[in-house]
């Protein structure tokens, strides 16, 4: 059992990828149109992405709180 193989380390995105303040974590791109901001952690999302996430029962990616629209 001492011969367990360790998983490879996680691969980080290239340094050329810049996550800006206007980056939607749901669709992984720039925020388009109106903005939804999480009440708890203030993370910003596209309003349309937030509505879709709420309908699918998803939570805020950063703090795991419910999305209130």
Domains located in the chain, CATH noted: 20-69 (3.30.40.10)
Q: In angstroms, how far is the first alpha carbon of the chain from the final one? A: 51
Alpha-carbon Rg for the chain in angstroms:
16
Residue range 15-69, pLDDT digits in tens: 554 556 789 999 999 998 999 999 999 999 999 999 999 999 999 999 999 998 8
pLDDT at 3: 64
pLDDT value for 32: 87
pTM of the model: 0.67
**What is residue 67's predicted lDDT score, i.e. its pLDDT?**
92
Q: Could you tell me the sign of the dihedral formed by the alpha carbons of 57, 62, 67, 69, in that order? A: negative
Residue 59 tokens read as 């939570």
HSE-CB of 47 using CA atoms within 13 angstroms: 4
- CA–CA dist 53, 59 (Å, integer): 7
């Amino acid at each position: 059992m001492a011969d367990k193989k360790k998983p490879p380390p996680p691969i980080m995105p290239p340094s050329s990828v810049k996550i800006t303040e206007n980056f939607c974590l749901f669709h992984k791109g720039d925020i388009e149109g109106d903005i939804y901001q999480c009440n708890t952690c203030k993370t910003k999302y596209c309003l349309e992405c937030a509505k879709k996430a709420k309908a699918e029962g998803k939570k805020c990616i950063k703090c795991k709180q419910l999305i209130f629209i």
